[in-house]
Amino acid sequence: MNAKRLTADDVALHVLAELSPDQRAELLVRPEEDLQDYLDKVAPVVDAVRAEGDAAVIRFARKFDGADLDAGSIAAGPEDFARARAALDPDLIRTLEYAADNIRRYHEAQRPQEMWMKEIRPGVLVGGRHTPVDSAALYVPRGKGSFPSVALMTAIPAVVAGVKQPIMLTPPKPDGGIDDATLVAAEIAGITHVYKAGGAVAVAAAAYGTETIPRCVKFEGPGSPWVVAAKRFLQGRIASRVPAGPSESIVLADATTSPELAALDLLIESEHGADSAVYLVTWDADFAAAARAAIPGYWREMGAGRVEFSRAVLGGTNGGIVLAGSPEEAYAFVNDYAPEHLQILSQVPFEHLNHINNASEILLGEHAAGSIANYVMGPNAVLPTAGAARFGSPLGVYDFMKSASVGHVSATGYAEMAPHTHRFAVYEGFDGHANAVSPLREKALGRR
């Protein structure tokens, strides 16, 4: 389609007051919510990788990625890292290093203290201890482009956490190689083991291990519904966070800002793919009309492929402009949607912030463009999707760590707590529990 022929009519306008409950509910649906078809299709892929290892990775690379691999080329070698760095624009390398520095600073500040303890009763110390997981697979998708930013966002928190064996998985290019910037980003982040595997194949390879790809206890990173389905299918085998599927965002704007600015920022996440979900939410009809009218002009400044994605998103039921009847109705829609990205465009953004409970990322003000957050701001841009912001959090250092509770009881503390413990145990009928805090304990201690 010729972008010059696009008009404001190509942008859907959803007036909440005119929608039935079912129509409003349809606006909240995400593409990956119904994964049954994907689950059925990933099952044989997972089974093949489990049974055949590298042979399945090689076969599926040819089938899904059009890439010819062999057992010796699944892993990136030192020469691949060196070639990628030599081929990359030095200015881009500096940008990757700049972004990595900000991301690292943010996640170092996020890292929990290794151990804490507090005396809650005389002689009773309780606390917690944080240690990194042994291994983690970090996924960088490639289906609709190359994403070195994702390499930084997934790898840096794992390295800051101290994961002993962090690896990276990414689909091969048709020539069998790996995107240069992704390899350099991995190196900058501190990852030395990168493997060529994509989609459900990557999840299965990390879950079971192959002759080349080591088995991991965690799998983190965004991906298509195929990746989301594979993670769900293998959730008893490898740990993973809440879904990080197709991109979604809401721009919440009031009349103190520019409708043209709202239109400009609305297009950020809409260009990821036709399965993205993007809304401008406002309660000012004139503002909505002006923003809608501005969108075609910005489309003309984009490449045809990205315009096709953006138009598919903004012209359907998973995108466009949502006109609320009041600020309260707008806040309610945002909280019901629980977006991955939320940008509050306003000269007084903090006045709206306290009304928002459900959003994975909240960007405040007219200069906090979503693209800055996606690349260089520092907070992690791998975020829960599909409404998981109601209970989930952005990827962070804590996702690559585990905690253990710690307790120490002295003789003084024991003397206070033992009678209460004995009473509990007797009531619940546990003789062993009761005996462990009875005079039998003092007798056993006297024999040491």
Residue 2: predicted pLDDT: 46
pLDDT digits (tens, 9 = 90+) for 266-314: 999 999 888 899 999 999 999 999 999 999 999 999 999 999 999 999 9
Residue 186 placed within a domain: yes
Q: Are residues 157 and 287 in the same domain?
A: no
Average pLDDT, the chain: 94
Q: Are residues 40 and 26 in the same domain?
A: no
Residue 10: predicted pLDDT: 93
pLDDT digits (tens, 9 = 90+) for 166-197: 999 999 999 999 999 999 999 999 999 999 99
Q: Are residues 59 and 192 in the same domain?
A: yes
Q: What's 26's domain CATH number? A: 3.40.50.1980
Answer with the one of 244, 265, 292 that is the final residue of a domain: 244
pLDDT digits (tens, 9 = 90+) for 221-247: 988 888 989 999 999 899 998 677 788
The pLDDT confidence band at residue 36, using thresholds 50, 70 and 90, is confident
Residue 404 placed within a domain: no
- The residue-averaged pLDDT of 387-416 equals 96
Structure tokens at 368: 């906090």
Answer with the one of 206, 227, 244 that is the final residue of a domain: 244
Residue 31: predicted pLDDT: 63
| 272 assigned to active site | no
Antiparallel, parallel or unpaired: β 165-170 and 248-253: unpaired
Q: Roughly what angle, to the nearest 10 degrees, separates helices 78-87 and 180-189? A: 110
- 216 vs 211: CA distance, rounded Å: 13
Q: Are residues 236 and 266 in the same domain?
A: no
Other CB atoms closer than 10 Å to residue 302's CB: what's the count?
16
Q: Are residues 270 and 322 in the same domain?
A: yes
Q: Are residues 189 and 203 in the same domain?
A: yes
Q: Are residues 237 and 270 in the same domain?
A: no
- For residue 16, what is the DSSP state? G
- The residue-averaged pLDDT of 17-33 equals 88
Side-chain half-sphere exposure of 50, counting CA atoms within 13 A = 12
Better-predicted residue by pLDDT, 1 or 110: 110
Residue 92 placed within a domain: yes
Q: Are residues 184 and 166 in the same domain?
A: yes
- 352 vs 364: CA distance, rounded Å: 9
Answer with the one of 244, 266, 283 that is the final residue of a domain: 244
Which of 393-398's residues contact partners 24+ apart within 8 Å by CB, and which partners?
393/360, 394/360, 394/361, 395/153, 395/154, 395/157, 395/220, 395/241, 395/244, 396/107, 396/110, 396/157, 397/107, 397/110, 397/111, 397/112, 397/157, 397/160, 397/161, 398/110, 398/112, 398/161
Domain limits at 430? Answer: 410-445
Which of 347-352's residues contact partners 24+ apart within 8 Å by CB, and which partners?
347/256, 347/257, 348/254, 348/256, 352/252, 352/254, 352/327
Residue 47 placed within a domain: yes
Listed residue (247, 249, 234, 323) closest to 286, CA to CA: 323
Q: Are residues 364 and 274 in the same domain?
A: yes
Total tally of structural domains belonging to the chain:
3
Residue 392 placed within a domain: no
- The residue-averaged pLDDT of 49-56 equals 98
| 211 assigned to active site | no
Q: Are residues 297 and 370 in the same domain?
A: yes
Q: Vertex 182, ends 242 and 340: CA angle to 5°?
A: 30
Residue 402 placed within a domain: no
Residue 173 placed within a domain: yes
pTM: 0.91
* Active-site pick, 32, 220, 271, 340: 340
- The residue-averaged pLDDT of 350-354 equals 97
Q: Are residues 202 and 270 in the same domain?
A: no
| Residue pair 131/82 in contact by the 8 Å Cβ criterion | no
* Active-site pick, 341, 352, 361, 366: 341
Residue 394 placed within a domain: no
Q: Are residues 371 and 280 in the same domain?
A: yes
